[in-house]
Amino acid sequence: VAVAPLPEQREVLSGLLSQMCTAAGEALRLATAALVNEQERLALRVQASDAEIDALRARVEEIAFESMALHAPVAGDLRAIVAAIRCAGDIERMGDLAKHVAATAARQARGTLVPSTAREVLVEMARLGCAMAAKAAEVARTRNVILAIELDSDDDAMDRLLRDVFAMLLDPAWDHGIGAAVEVTLLARYYERFADHAVSVAKEVVYTVTGKPPESLAL
């Protein structure tokens, strides 16, 4: 069996990670659409499609192990390959979180869980989360350090949205009861965690390229 040279394997890994990020972002976008438009079939489709992200992760690990076993990489190459395994873990988790949103959407379609007043901020969180997944995809593919730094400020924006959600729930004007508050709390947390993992992916890549975390880079 011909073994691909190391640089080629690294390119394949970058491509797969980028593809995983794109798929996770798309899953989050569709899960949120299913949530706000009460589309049960779409929600079920998103849940099922998570298996594709899991399969991509398995492929990343397979190539990474093959690469380590056959090329015995050192230094930067070794770091990049271990980083790929870690990034794949983060992105798989992004897919899981999108799946959690889809699961809520599927239940929601059989009886409203998320009041319309809460949907606007959740849609905003989803929009930001998708944009972050797209940036992480780009960072994985091109090792663009500036985009990675942007992700840090996107994450601050996500944290502000999370605080907005809590403020909305604690406002005396919230008249949708405890059940809806619990659902919205969990959903908001899913979006916020999704964003955290997108940031982690970008950090791993930048660390591999520069040997430094993105926030320490003066540009």
Choice from 1, 2, 7, 75 touching a second copy (CB under 8 A)? 75
Stretch binding a second copy (CB under 8 A), from 26-34, 104-112, 165-173, 211-219: 165-173
Looking at the Cβ atoms of 29 and 100, the one nearer to a second copy is: 100
- Binders of a second copy among residues 98 to 157 (CB under 8 A) are none
User: Does the footprint of a second copy cover residue 179 (CB under 8 A)?
Assistant: yes
User: Distance of alpha carbon 130 from its chain centroid, rounded?
Assistant: 8
Long-range contacts of 176-185 (CB under 8 A, 24+ apart): 176/115, 176/117, 176/118, 179/113, 180/113, 180/114, 180/115, 180/118, 183/104, 183/108, 183/113, 183/114, 184/114, 184/118, 184/122
Residues in Cβ contact with 106 at an 8 Å cutoff, skipping those fewer than 6 apart: 34, 40, 43, 44, 47
Contact flag: residue 89 with a second copy (CB under 8 A):
yes
Residue 205 interacting with a second copy (CB under 8 A): no
If one asks whether residue 13 binds a second copy (CB under 8 A), the answer comes out as no
* Site membership for a second copy, residue 169 (CB under 8 A): yes
Q: Is 74 in the site for a second copy (CB under 8 A)?
A: yes
Distances 118 to 26, 138, 162, 181 between C-alpha atoms, Å:
21, 31, 12, 9
Contact flag: residue 1 with a second copy (CB under 8 A): no
Q: Is 6 in the site for a second copy (CB under 8 A)?
A: no
Locate all alpha helices (DSSP H) within the chain, ordered by sequence. Answer: 6-37, 40-71, 75-108, 116-142, 145-170, 177-210
Residue 51 interacting with a second copy (CB under 8 A): no
Alpha-carbon radius of gyration of the chain: 19
Q: Is 173 in the site for a second copy (CB under 8 A)?
A: no
Size of the site for a second copy (CB under 8 A): 23
Contact with a second copy (CB under 8 A) among 6, 33, 82, 103: 82
Q: What is the binding site for a second copy (CB under 8 A)?
A: 65, 68-69, 72, 74-75, 78-79, 82, 85-86, 89, 166, 169-170, 174, 178-179, 181-182, 185-186, 189
